[in-house]
Structure 1
Amino acid sequence: MQIKKTLSRASAAALACLLLACASSTKPGVVGITRQQFLMVPAATVEKMALVSYAQQNQKARDDGQLITSGPEYERLERIALRLRQHVEIFREDTRDWKWQLTLIDAPVINATCAPGGKITFYTGIVRKLALTDDEIAAIMGHEIAHALREHGRERISQAYAQNMLTGVALAATNNSNQIALANQFAHYLYTLPNSRQNESEADAVGLELAARAGYDPAAAIGLWKKMAAESGEKSPPQFLSTHPAPATRIDEISALLPKVLPLYQAAHRPEPLPPASEAGAPPPAPAAATAAKRPTRKPK
């Protein structure tokens, strides 16, 4: 009887922990993202391990002579990142404390990420091979930042931890070698495993709103995913698509979101004109379908 009572109390405590771990990591924005998330693993733990993984990535790129820290291509990405960052507090006020960083790696890889805490990584391959406009870069960067804002990586790690998939790995590791091992384990869940369809839809929605508020045409996301679709037709689909669903399935969803975010874009202050393509590392932006729309007389809330 005593054993049953003990087990019952333990089960109740475990259930309480699971219930307390459910919350929405962001405000809804105009796109209305309100889903409750399972966030059992502490945010500080995930950010700490993500920082270790990010530092490893940057060190390897530096050792390989692939780390770009200045020049037109880097400055172009930095300018777009700064504009997007001005609006992240609409979704999360605590982002004012994030130590944002931008990494550009010179490699023919079609990929981009944003680790927890605002650690953005772009590869020159995605910008050059897809000949991205600023609006398209903003769509990708906004999408990746949205994953960090919504803590999708932390959510996946929490789910794995709850299912005992991380058995034998101590979350409170203090030994440096243990931290590296744990960072590698977490990196598998942060970057390697595909996001769920739901997570991708949320990142698309939040990313579109960020881009629109920053003055980048959200309709450019449609052209971007058409480019991605063309790339996915090759024998070896780009790495970016290996962790994202097929482009064709999301274009309709993005189109449905445009009426919500276009007023924000029309009311936003537009970026300054770009330098010539030869100086910026990519072609100048081509206007998307929404560019010709008239500005509203009232600024959206």
Structure 2
Amino acid sequence: MAKKNVLTALALAVSLTAAAPAMTGCVGSTTTNSSTTDRTQIMLISEQEINTSAAQEYDKVIAQAKAQKALNTNAKQTKRVKNIANKLIAKASIYRPDSKKWDWEVNVINSDEVNAWCMPGGKIAVYTGLINTVKPTDDELAVVISHEIAHALREHSREQMSAEYAKQGALNIAAMFGVDQTKLAIGDAISNIGFSLPFSRSHETEADELGLELMNAAGYDTDAAASLWKKMMAASGGSSNALENLLSTHPSNDDRIENLTELSAKLKTGKSDK
């Protein structure tokens, strides 16, 4: 294919990707009463579709954990996690009124993995590896759970899937115009480094900030965010180098701690506007 035609095809693909939100699903911020962001979000997939899929996947995870006798095996630990989560859930409607109607679930899964997550629609899981390895205080555990709830309140999964949907559509259009696979692979890599991963890092920062507001509303000490991430740094062996930060879906630990410390101070003085 001539160079001019290749560039034309790629330009058309990028243009259609950029136009997709206007043709389908641009919405305002999915949260309210938060000082963290009021940006417009691109949603090309319906909320019902993603929440239904999330509920189905959650049921599979819970069923597997039950089969492995790994679900809520420690009554004291499970009660602690659910108590913290429920305090946060009770305040979630401040930022997302319709979350009152979500079918919230909270479970603890026995696993060495240091992890926790909240699927769209309020399906929460905390792994014992997080509790046993990091040994968080209640406030620090609230940092983790509020962060994961914030992802759900902001519908980051739906937004990320919409972005990938648009990107793949552009690459498919380019292929239709005869752009060879090497150029498509390069285009995909550029898109991944220049768009998808930074986009995900921005989601992490938003979840940090909204999560801090949520835990503050629930009465937890927001200074615990910095101490939690210092523990996480120690558990992971320290800060990442510059290349790892570029290719990471999370902000660097140092940047994260600095941002959370600053926001915590603002929340404590009632000056959390940005």
TM over 0.5: yes
The answer to whether residue 109 in structure 2 is matched with residue 105 in structure 1 is: yes
CA distance in 1, matches of 2:205, 2:131: 23
Q: How many angstroms does 1:157 deviate by?
A: 0.5
Gaps of 5+ in 1: 1-10, 169-192, 235-241, 265-301
Q: Which amino acid is 1:258 matched to?
A: S
Among residues 34, 44, 50, which one is paired with 2:38 in the alignment? 34
Q: TM-score, normalised by structure 2?
A: 0.74
Give the superposition deviation at 1:16.
Answer: 3.5
Query: CA distance change for structure 1 residues 113 and 166 in 2, over 3 Å: closer, same or farther?
Result: farther
The equivalent residue for 2:268 is 262
Q: 2 CA distance for matches of 1:130 and 1:98?
A: 30
Q: Is the CA contact 2:117–2:148 (under 8 Å) kept in the aligned structure 1?
A: yes
Task: Give 1:271's aligned residue.
Answer: none
| Alpha-carbon distance in structure 1 between the residues aligned to 2:170 and 2:154 | 22
How do residues 227-246 of structure 1 correspond to structure 2 at under 5 angstroms? Answer: 227-233=231-237, 244-246=250-252
Aligned equivalent of 2:121, options 117, 121, 128: 117
1:48 paired to 2:62: no
Query: Does residue 143 of structure 2 align to residue 139 of structure 1?
Result: yes
CA–CA distance in 2 between the matches of 1:32 and 1:201?
9
| Structure 2 match to 1:74 | 78
Match of 2:194?
A: none
Residue in 1 that maps onto 2:165: 161
Contact 2:106–2:123 (8 Å) recurs in 1: yes
Please, which runs of 5 or more residues in structure 2 have no aligned partner?
A: 1-15, 173-196, 239-247
More helix by share: 2
Letter in 2 for 1:254: L
Aligned residues: 222
User: Measured at CA, do residues 15 and 48 of structure 1 come closer, stay the same or move farther in structure 2, by a change above 3 Å?
Assistant: closer
Residue 35 of structure 1: CA displacement?
A: 1.6
Aligned to 1:163, the other structure's residue is in SS state helix
Residues 16 and 212 of structure 1: CA distance in aligned 2, closer, same or farther (over 3 Å): closer
> Is 1:25 matched up with 2:30?
yes
Q: CA deviation at 1:164?
A: 2.8
Q: Counterparts of 1:196-215 in structure 2 under 5 Å?
A: 196-215=200-219
Contact 1:195 1:244 in 2 (8 A): no
* Counterpart residue number, 1:86: 90
User: Distance in 1 between the 2:153 and 2:98 partners?
Assistant: 10
Question: Does the 8 Å CA contact 1:229/1:246 hold for their aligned counterparts?
Answer: no
The Cα of 1:106 is off from its aligned counterpart by 0.7
CA distance in 2, matches of 1:58, 1:165: 34
SS of alignment partner, residue 67 of structure 1: coil
Q: Contact (CA 8 Å) 1:138, 1:216: kept in 2 or not?
A: yes
Aligned 1:186-197 pairs, distance under 5 A: 196-197=200-201
Q: State the one-letter code of the partner of 1:22.
A: V
Instruction: Supply the distance in 2 between the matched residues of 1:247 and 1:230 (Cα, whole angstroms).
Output: 10
Query: Per the alignment, in what secondary structure is the counterpart of residue 68 of structure 1?
Result: coil
From 236, 247, 258, the equivalent of 2:253 is: 247
Query: Does the 8 Å contact 1:208/1:218 carry over to 2?
Result: yes
Report how far residue 243 of structure 1 moved. Answer: 5.2
Q: Quick one: percent identity of the two aligned structures?
A: 40
Closer/same/farther in 2, CA of residues 112 and 165 from structure 1, 3 Å limit: farther
Q: Summarize the Cα distance change of 1:59–1:166 in structure 2 as closer, same or farther, 3 Å threshold.
A: farther
- TM-superposed CA distance for 1:259, in Å, is 2.8
* Alpha-carbon distance between aligned partners in 1 of 2:199 and 2:130, rounded to the nearest angstrom: 19
| Closer, same or farther: CA 132–195 of 1 in aligned 2, 3 Å | farther
2-structure distance, mates of 1:233, 1:133: 21
For each residue in 1:222-258, what CA deviation from the matched residue of structure 2 results, as whole angstroms up to 9, or x when unmatched? 0000011112218xxxxxxx75333222111111111
Q: Which amino acid is 2:266 matched to?
A: K
